[in-house]
A and B are shown apart, each in its own frame.
Chain A
Amino acid sequence: MNKTFTLDGREIHFETGQTIMDAALAAGVYIPHLCHNPEFAPHGSCRVCVVDIGGRQVSACTAAASEGLQVDSSSEAIQATRRAILQMLFVEGNHVCPACEKSGACQLQAVAYYTGMLAPHFTHFFPRRPVDASHPDVVIDFNRCILCELCVRASRDHDGKRVFAISGRGLESHLVIDSPSGLLGDSSFAAGDKAAHVCPTGAILPKGRGYETPIGERLYDREPINIIGDVRAHEEEVV
């Protein structure tokens, strides 16, 4: 009963079985994250929710909360680690914000702003990745995929379709689509699928629209993500 741990000096209550992220979200405390979405099983892959517990760095979305933990989520050292992780995500793909429809309402971008990332720091990979526009209602731009597996989880666990999977290892890891041609248009994917509405970047976007919200009025234009919340929380008003 009434178990607590300490997050940046603040007492956080938790129930048995909750992760640090679950308890923090329930208490209204923001820990930056990309691959985490409370509707799906924690994945722990993007590492952006890294926190420090007694000198160990763990992902808050997969670490179980336990009594008396001292969790650091806001020191400059932790924010610097998050910035470096984000910078690696940016240089590994092709994230051309000025040309992207998702810009301004993109969770990758918003978390980068939150952590104070101003530049990518590392050397760009400039990978050559395709754009799949074969589906009538949805386009997939693999340049913007950060392998968070939210679409994989949503399609498998919510839509019951298993349209998406990650194939390959290490640098070769990439998103694949379950259809004879490998194209989205030949899969069972539909615009109403949950998987069409969970991407934290501009990798999965609806067709036939774009740049609808003027600059200055977009989701993260005026206030940061720790106040606004995740893209998914605003998905309904966007769709």
Chain B
Amino acid sequence: MAEKPRVATASLCGCFGCHMSLLDIDERILQLVDLVIFDRTPLTDIKTLGDCDLGLIEGGVANAENVEVLREFRRRCKSLVAVGACAVNGGIPAMRNQFSLAECLHESYRDGIGVHNPGIPNDPEIPLLLDQVHPIHEVVAIDYFLPGCPPSADAIWTFLTRFLEGRPIAFPYTQIHFD
């Protein structure tokens, strides 16, 4: 048998809720580790990305590092999936698009209630924020979309099993929701 498919995951501007939902497949994760090899992912803590068959992206694109990671995933992964509301449409973080970036930074670090030592962080190691948060399909081409906040463990499992078996991706009604 050929080598097992390689799977990578990343959380961009998300809350890690989608990764938690992936872990929520419970004991099925033992089946999953038999079926695939995990490449770069917070689950393995591997930091570098190799060539993969499948990339799962949680979160939208909010800063320069998100753009870099997302583009690298697109280069390295044969199929790329937008997992969860933030990756699909920007989600909750994109609510900051109602305000200018300066307004957001001033509220958080200068004028907001309870701010001590006001000052906008400018350490060169901190990735620069984009002026708006974007869904990932506005930055790179995406092959599959899995909505939900988060997508349920069952929805993720449906996707993974169908993908790995080479079957068309389709979900029962109750597994698709935008929230």
Interface residues of A (CB under 8 A from B): 90, 94-100, 103-104, 109, 112-113, 118-121, 123-124, 126, 128, 215, 221-224
Contact = CB atoms under 8 A, between A and B. Distances in A.
Looking at B95, B137, B146, B179, the one whose CB has the most chain A CB atoms below 10 A away is: B179
Interface string B126-167: 000000101101100010011101000000000000000000
Given A104-B177, A123-B138, A98 B98 contact: no
A224 B177 CA distance: 11
Looking at B89, B92, B137, the one whose CB has the most chain A CB atoms below 10 A away is: B89
Contact of B179 (A94, A103, A121, A124): A103
Given A98-B85, A104-B177, A113-B173, 15 more contacts: A90-B89, A96-B91, A96-B94, A98-B92, A98-B178, A109-B178, A113-B176, A119-B88, A119-B135, A124-B138, A126-B97, A215-B179, A222-B173, A222-B174, A223-B173
A120 B135 contact: yes
Nearest to A121: B137
B121 to A, nearest CB: 25
B85 to A, nearest CB: 5
9 contacts: A98-B178, A98-B179, A109-B178, A119-B145, A123-B138, A124-B134, A124-B138, A126-B90, A224-B173
A103 B178 contact: yes
Nearest to B17: A98
A118 B147 contact: yes
A118 B95 contact: no
Task: Classify the secondary structure of A's interface with B.
Answer: loop
B177 to A, nearest CB: 7
Contacts of A221: 174, 177
B137 A94 contact: no
A97 B173 contact: no
A29 B149 CA distance: 32
Given A118-B145, A118-B176, A221-B177, A94 B98 contact: yes
B89 A120 contact: yes
Given A99-B95, A104-B179, A221-B177, A126 B89 contact: no
Interface of B: 82, 85, 88-92, 94-95, 97-98, 132, 134-135, 137-138, 142, 145-147, 149, 173-174, 176-179
Nearest to A222: B174
Nearest to B134: A124
Looking at A120, A222, A223, the one whose CB has the most chain B CB atoms below 10 A away is: A120
A95 B92 CA distance: 10
A100 B132 CA distance: 21
B82 A119 contact: yes
Contacts of A90: 89
Q: List the 5 closest A-B pairs by CB distance, nearest first.
A: A119-B145, A97-B178, A98-B149, A126-B97, A118-B145
Contacts of A98: 85, 91-92, 149, 178-179
Contacts of A104: 177, 179
Contact of A124 (B82, B135, B142, B147): B135
A103 B132 CA distance: 24
A192 B89 CA distance: 35
A109 B85 CA distance: 13
Nearest to B176: A113
Contacts of A112: 178
B60 to A, nearest CB: 10
A113 B88 CA distance: 15
B170 to A, nearest CB: 9
